[in-house]
Structure formats: C-alpha cells, structure tokens
A = this chain, B = another copy of it.
Amino acid sequence: MAASGRTAHPEVIWARPERAARGPRPAHTRAEIAAAAVRVADAEGPEGVSMRRVAAETGCGTMSLYNYVPRKEDLYELMVDAVSAEYDLSAAPSGDWRADTLALAGQTRALMHRHPWLPRLMSPAHGFSPNALRYLEHFLWVLEPLDVEGGTKMELISMVNGVVSTYVVNELSEAERARTSPFPPGQEHAARMAHLARELSGGAYPRLAGVLGAGFAAVDLDAQFERALGRLLDGFAPGRAGGCQSASASSVTLKENRSPR
C-alpha cells in the first residue's frame, strides 16, 4: 500500500498540519517554500514557477516538494497567501469607510505592482487562505459604518478587487508583454501601434479614431485610478451628500513600499 500522504482526496492545504504526527522532521517549511516560489516569480515571471525550479530554489529534490504541496495549484495558493501577508492592516478603521477602502485598494495595487504575477495566479477559490481571511475581516471592519446588507458588502469588496485587478493588469500589460516577448523591447508594441494606425486611417472606425487620435499622453495614472474607484464607490454610497470629491490623494499613492523581506 502506498503511503497515506499519497492517497488522493480533496483537501484544503490550510487544513493540513504543517508537521505530521509520526515521521521525521521535515527539512523545510511551507513559508520557506512559498518564499522561494515568490522569489522565482518576482524574478522570472509566473511562467518561471515550475516544481523543478522552486525545488532548486528551496534547496531540495524536485519530488520532495510534493511532501509539502500536493499539487502545483496549491503552490499558487501558498504564494498568494504569502504576499497577502504584506498587507498592513495594523491601523484601525478611521470611520471614513470610503477613504479606508481607497487606501486598501491602493495597498492592493501596490502589492500587484511589486508582484505582477499576482493577478494571473489569484483565483476566487483562494478566498479562504489565512491572510485572505485576515484581509476580509479587516475590510468588513472598514465597511462597518456603511449601512448596507452584508451580502452587498461582500459584493463591494469583490467589485473593488476586480476593478483594481483590471486596472493594474491594464497598467502593466505593456511591461508584461515586453518581458515575455522574444523580440527587442518596444518593437512588438511599435508593430501593434503601426497596425492600429493603419486600421484607423481606413475610416471604418471614425469614433475610435477620434478618441484615440486625441492622444493618450500625460495621464496621471494615480489620479485616474482614484477616480475610477471613486466612481465605483459612489454607486454604493446610500444617499451620500456631495462627498464625491473626497478622494484625498494622500491615501492611495504607490509610495507605500513596505516589503517585508
């Protein structure tokens, strides 16, 4: 009979004890492995995260990883949880749920800038990792002054995270493409733009040509981010009187670079 650790049955990795009751002491820890995987992903992108590569980075044999992580997908879950520990949730809510929410979204954005693989590796199913629970609990605390149903609050959290994710993916898409592209940096983007210009000049898309022709340049990304989120939150504020401009720039900048190493 095979060892019981190999008998496959559905299991949440967080329900599994780090150390088994019987055998020898494991040579590594989950946190160590997660950190190694995060290091690889930060340096080489999500496609660099292979079991072999992470095992090498951890300093153990490839197949030994499977003692800690039953499937690769669980490694992703470990990674997402590991970087989620970077949230600074030490401050109690200010009472202004809108400002606090914008600050949380700003932290998420900063987190995704530090770990650009995060949006791709994150999945709705990861919602129950320890740090995700911590985050959710804090977010609900922030939303306590908001007088809507609990389900609506969860909806708000989901929407905010979705918009942040969308926004950051858009922000980083060109850089990511440049990183992945086998061609000299910029060439691919130039080719795309040339094609777009050719298409637009045909006159088949007059409105699009008008909008894009007006020029994108010199947009303040931070301000745009705040505006987009602010609009979303406006939709949730029940009977809010004129507070829409309250997005104070101080709370949501990318300046906060506390990365525990």
Residues of A within 8 A of B (CB): 8-12, 14-15, 123-125, 128, 133-134, 136-137, 140-141, 144, 150-151, 153-155, 158-159, 161-163, 165-167, 169-170, 173, 177, 181-183, 187-188, 190-192, 194-196, 198-199, 204-208, 210-211, 214-219, 224, 227-228, 230-237, 240-246, 248-249, 251-252, 259-261
Residue of B nearest to A187 (CB): B10
Which B residues touch A173, using CB under 8 A? 123-125
Q: Which of B161, B162, B218 contacts A261 (CB 8 A)?
A: B218
CA distance in complex: A242, B224 (Å)? 23
Task: Report how far A181 CA is from B14 CA in the complex, Å.
Answer: 18
Give Cα A6–Cα B231 distance, bound, in whole angstroms. 48
- Using A11-B191, A162-B162, A166-B162 as known contacts, say yes or no to A140 and B231 having CB atoms under 8 A apart: no
Can you sample 8 A-B contacts with CB below 8 Å? A9-B187, A15-B195, A128-B199, A151-B216, A155-B227, A162-B165, A233-B235, A240-B245
Interchain CB contact under 8 A, A245 and B251 = yes
* Known A-B contacts A136-B205, A208-B137; A128 and B196 likewise in contact (beta carbons under 8 Å): yes
**Residues in chain B near residue A198, CB distance under 8 A:** 15
Let me know if A151 and B211 touch, CB within 8 A. Answer: yes
The answer to whether B123 touches A199, judged by C-beta atoms less than 8 angstroms apart, is no
Residues of B within 8 A of A246 (CB): 241-244
Q: Determine the distance from Cα of A91 to Cα of B108 in the docked complex, in whole angstroms.
A: 40
Cα distance A159–B167 when bound, in Å? 8
Residues of B within 8 A of A181 (CB): 10
A216 and B127 alpha carbons, distance in the complex (Å): 15
- With contacts A162-B165, A243-B248 known, what are 4 further pairs, Cβ within 8 A? A133-B205, A159-B228, A232-B232, A234-B235
Say yes or no: A207 contacts B141, CB within 8 Å. Answer: yes
